Structure 1
Amino acid sequence: MRRIFIVFFAVLLATSALASAETFTIVLHTGQSISVNGVTVRFLDFSEDGRVAVQVKGTTHVLSYGDTIEVVKGINLTVGSLSFSESSVLLVLYGENISMGEQPSNIQLESRFPSKITQPGEDVVFTVRVRNLGQEGFVPVVVTAPRGWDAKVLAGNSEVDGVYLKSGETAEVSVVLRPPSRPGKYPVVLQAGDSELTLWVTVVGGGVEITCLYPVKEVEAGRNVSFSLVLSSKVPVTVPLNVTLPSGWEGKFLAGGDFVRGVYLSGESTVELLVSVPSNASVGWYPIEVGAGDARTTLSVYVSKSHAGENGTVTVKVLDPESGNYIPGASVQLLRDGETVVSARTLSDGTAVIEAPEGEYTLIVTKDAYNTVRRTIRVTAGSEVEVKVSLKKLPYYFTADALSPTKSGVLGDVFVYEVVLKNLGENDDTYTFDLKAPEGWGALVTDDPSSRRGMGSVYVESGSDTRLYVVLIPPDTAEIGDYHAALKITSLGSGEEKILNFTASLSGSYGIALSPGKYSLKIEAGKSAELHVRVYNTGTSPLTNVKLNVELPEDWKTKAQITPERMSELGRDEVAEFTVKFTVPANVDSGDYVVKISAVSDQDKSEEKIRVTVTKGGGSEYIGIAVILGALVLLGILLRKYGRR
């Protein structure tokens, strides 16, 4: 009855339309569409009460039998009969200048559930009905999935690439998909003949899980803290690793003894997150966000103690790798930007302990006869770090030290300098000498300071030392002043040279002498005597403030007159004349007396003695004799007169 009505309705439309109007009838199955003047008309679905869902220009219209809608201006669409068994509907188009697009395919594809949700690595299966509305034949089936997906078409338990269908026959196939780890909504296109059906797969979750048994830890500022992360994935996948840390913190991932930035997962894998907490971190809680691919988790660190503003301690142990002994006396320096910040020397146990502000330093360790070691170290405030350094002894190395490289003397002296030569290298060595002395001076290197036999080289065993002597002899014509000599010592083993410098300060000699002309005088009591005294400069340097001192016998109670009183300077080889005049008191008894004359300068003095014989003048000797004789005569008279009793 409905078919009759449709035919009648179509005839009615045809007879009532204008001469230029056109009428088309078309049958669409569920999911099929047709283009009408560039507008897509799609049959979406139908209901049991006979209504159909038709989509025009992206708008869905639910229509009953006989309902009409406008497709474009001047072209209308009317719903005709609905076939439940074939899931088809008859549509009637009428209007002017109708342009029909490509006709629907004879192969119909439909799925009751064309959109599904799954997780990475899990199979998702779509059941699709393939109906042949055309002629009998083989219908090829192809599925197109996103790159990296596992996709196949099954009929029963067998994978197929097509089905054979008679006209009007329907077959069911299964589209099996396995998506990778990345979440999102993805289209999968199934082609059967010239028909296509788009299936939608929504992948939820990243597919990677991060598990940490101890996600909250406590640490002291300046220390490291580690978290053991268990990463898992149901499908093999390589994921990048990343971490978000508080400002100034550092973090690295460690796996298999190496630092890593990504990991390949096929099941479970363990990765260590090593976090360095800066020493100036304040006390408190700090979050750490860890990512593995699209998976994320949050860890926490509680800083229990801060070391802001404190120094760090570095303990350096210096070792000789060949002997196994620690090396004392090694120089240990910490440098920053080429400047020494702190330095120390190792003690008898080869250890040096130094403190420095937090930062990165260049550690330099040096020791005579050993190679120099440089390292870059980091000092952390409030923490202690121990650094072991191996210094290897050099095959050839020596030291040469002058014990007293500067000496003073006077013309005529011999200058002797002692040198200690040490062979600190691993091997025995011979050392040659090249001595440069002042012009006109005698110079030699000897092993005996009293010897004048020079030597040009010396052999010294490893670990031994020898004493040498540099002898400098000035000529008689040398002027007063400083003279310089240099000794170059060369190692035959390494070619290394060392130069020692010597200074000889030559000063003049000082000497003074006097000559009174006479060394004995005979003077009558009460008379004066005059001496002409000569003073000689017997040295090589000038004498200053030259004068005479005259010491007369104490009981004379008189002083000598000296002319001149003094001379300000008496040069080399010069002679000064002084006049000395003194008087012998009249009451002085006759006899021999001593007069001392001294020549005195700022630099030296000399003394001479003169014997002075004092006599009595004017018959005084006879008077004395007469007195004695008178006394004897008087004594004789008395004896005669009184006799002996």
Structure 2
Amino acid sequence: MNRYLALLLVLLLLTPSIKLSTAKEVNIVIFKGRILPQERLIIGNYTITVEFGIDNFPYVIVSNGTSKLVIERAEFGASITIENLSITIGSYNARKGLFIVASWSSEGEKHVAKVGRYFEGFEVITVTNSSVTLKRGITTIEVPKDKLILYGRYGIRYSNGTIFLYKLPSVEVKKKEERELVVFYPYSEVTTEVNRSIMLPLTIFNNGTETVNVTFSVVNAPKDWDVKFYYQGIEIKKLKLREKESITLQLKVLPSSAGSHVVKFSINGDIYSFYVNVVQPKMEALKITAPILVQEAEAGSKVTFSVLLSAGEDSVISMDVREPRDWKACILVDGVRAQEIYLRRGETKVVNLILEIPRNASLGYYESKISFTVRKSNGEVIKNETITLGVNIYKTYKGQKATLKLILVDDTGSPVPKALVKVGNESYATDSTGTLEVEMNPGKYVITIEKEGYETKKEEVELGDGEKKELKLLLVREPYYFNVEAQSDIYPIVMEGLSRPFTIVIENLGKSDDEYKLEIRGIPENWNAFFTESAEGNIEVTKVKVKSGETKTVYLKVYPSLNAMPGTYNATITVISSSGIKKEIPVKIKLIGSYNMNVNLLNYRLTITAGEEKTAMMDIFNFGNAPLTNLKITVKGPQGWDVKVDPSQIPSLSPKGRERVTITVKVPEGTPAGDYRVQITVKADQAEWQDTLRVVVRQRSTSTYIGVLILIISFALVLFMMRRIGRR
């Protein structure tokens, strides 16, 4: 029984974490600092903000999600308590914000402070009377006795062998989110006449970080009034606004009754309003209003003057423009060029004068005049009026060079690189993207563009002073044209080996499908060569069909004759289209021979008496199909030996040939008996061989007898010494 109790006690001690019990609930300060009105203090699920009331005094607002839980006037010393959260309010500084102390009430957990224990991801590393050391991940935390330590979302205290762990909420200060859509209109009250429409500007800015769908609707307007939203003359109810983009709309209001009324409209659910004071109109044949009379512009730009026409009765209005010399002018009404318009009584129309300023206009002030002639339906002229509009040129390009940028594409939209471009007396070429950019003097030019396989194109262009003009031109492909590319200008073939076929790619650059004839010239007569459509296949083809805009790969296979010698052979591949266009590709067929040197040492062992000389024979064979060149035979014996080879050099060894070599070895007198090695090396330009010749050296018979006698005397001396020592 005692044994089982002991085992149970050991298991309990080895348990990673043992929570003793809950500790006493304590308040822990989790935030101490200032927050500005444009900031949010987020503690767990609570959000604390500072707002100013209508009394211009700061208020503390505590929210949970969209619900506002507490709104407290930010008086010094005031406090707020919501469940576990307690907030104490300090002083307010206009520049630094409101000082706040936030604490959290947490009921801690008690854990035994023993080395090796785990709880909530913490491991107990060391325990002393004055502190405990914990580890979480790669971080080590030292907790002094009776002192609260904050680590992440935990409070930790150590006392009397117990660790108290308090769980805390996350704390974060964030900037308030700015309003996604900003709507601006400068008017809060406008005045107009009955049946006279007004177009009120309305600017919307997307202050968010994503594209927003914006919806418009009229919430409140008097009955029979026409209130609509317009953008560039088109009625809208919804549009998309990209991030950081602004757009100006027109809110059209056409009142049908007099009086003071409020108009309310909605943009993405937010309500906006303004007052409209409507009075009875004073009849005038034509009222002309030009809000802008003089503009500043740079030469080469376009300027627009908007003129508002209001008709007092049904009438036909003729318009005539007198612009400065060399300028271009037109009148646009609802996006259409116009010289006469018809207006009903009370109708309002915006007329736009478009002035195009030449790039070489001099600096200075220029005037344009618009004359309006108003006629009744019976042709009677009831009013003539002329207005003057001015443009002040503050920047000119007079005398500056122009820049022409050409972008060339073909029928498929692909760029046309390396095209020849002639502009005047100069010639240029497009880059790899089909683009050409060049500086030129202002004037009129005829551009001629040529490229093999494309129809010649001519284009007239006029360049103004300092103008940067971009032209995208289409080059039309010829009906029949092609290009041929080979994998290389060298076709290597290994003799008596497996050689890869030679790849040829035919690209049909014409507009029509085509058929191409394949030929090869220049190879020796007894060789075999043919084309295939597959790298692995052996079915010969002499013609291939390629669709327009596509490529076709064919393969050339060449088989040399058995007696062909290694070397380089010049050949020509010819591709002829059905239209008669011929392309020739020169190719060098490099025949690579195989080299197989075999060396046979007829005797790998020589037995020689010291002071004598002997020879060994060695045969060198060429079993390859190409000659071996510059063979060098070297031998190396022990130091003092006389080792010779004959011949030591062979200029060339033909295929299937053999050369016999004699190796002479002379051993010096007095060489001790034993085994010796002679190193033999045969090295050609194409191959190398190494081996050794074993040489056994023997002594003469007299020396042998003397040696035996010395051994007998030595043995007798040893026996004599052993007997004398043994007696003692």
TM-score class, shorter-chain normalisation, is: 0.3 to 0.5
Q: Structure 1-normalised TM-score?
A: 0.45
Structure having the higher Rg: 1
Q: Structure 2-normalised TM-score?
A: 0.40
